[in-house]
Amino acid sequence: MDDIRTGRAPTDETVIITGGTSGIGRATAVALAGSGARIILAVRNEEKGRAVVSALPGVPGTHRVRRLDLARLDTVEAFADGIDEPIAILVNNAGVESKDLERTAEGHELQFGTNHLGHFLLATLLLPHVTDRVVTVASQAERMARLDLTDLDWYRRTYNAGRAYADSKLANLLFTSELDRRLLASGSRVRALAAHPGLVKTAIYERPAGQRPNLWDRLVPVLGQEPEDGALPSLMAASADLPGGTFVGPRRMMHMRGGAEVIGRSKQAQDPEIAARLWSISEELTAVDARS
């Protein structure tokens, strides 16, 4: 793996990573633990999480596992309630991709509810503890989004799984920009950044037996990079001296693989009005005021 990109890597500080039992999240945890960070893995499967933690660099007992299911907001609240220490970096890494319409425990469309709302609530509740930055794993799939703020959970529209995933990734970028705007306005030194991992060989592309693979499923084994390479944008966003609101992605193949650099985003991902509206709606959908 390339060195963590230029900047200050967290040493003897706590980093929370969601979804770190495999793929990009696990690679991110290994790299940051290797730099001296204390890792808290926030995962659905604690047994898998303990197996990852036991293999992380560092003194045994340095790293921890905590249960978190982003599709159940009560577990997000319980996780946040259990944090009473400074958190240098929160890495919102976990994500799901669904081919059929599924819903979270609260009735939200699964991809939007997990990829955006769960992380929105987690970051909002943990923000008083964060000392450096919030990194959210987004995707260039956001360019295919058609975010409908009047029907975010697909109750009225005909469901399109690919569009729903793209919407959730656009929501990740809008959340990042609005969070960073609010942090700046409050005079906070905390920054919010986003990362696009590119095309990576991860479990998100694995399909159940009998389910027909799509184009991306066929391309990943041929063109996809390893999780250690896919983690490089997250590592750069977590450690480099970059301004808040920055979007980091791979350097090559139209930002789909190879290294890490600052990349652009769509016009809709840069719209401050949409970002502010999504924030307000997300507060309502997660009842964040009542929980904080």
In order of their start, the domains of the chain are 14-291 (3.40.50.720)
Tokens of 47: 């047994």
Tokens of 254: 């139209």
Average pLDDT of every residue of the chain? 92
Q: Is the pTM value of this prediction over 0.85?
A: yes
The Cα 237–Cα 136 span in angstroms is 9
Q: Are 121 and 171 in contact (CB under 8 A)?
A: no
Tokens of 2: 């390339």
Q: Tokens 């966003």 appear where?
A: 237
User: Among 171, 122, 124, which Cα is nearest to 146's?
Assistant: 171
Give the pLDDT score at 221: 64
The Cα 109–Cα 276 span in angstroms is 21
89-101 pLDDT per residue, tens: 999 999 999 989 9
Of 155, 159, 165, 205, the active-site residue reads: 165
CA dihedral 169, 118, 237, 268 (to 10 degrees): 30
105-154 pLDDT per residue, tens: 999 999 999 999 999 999 999 999 999 999 999 999 999 999 999 999 99
165 is catalytic: yes
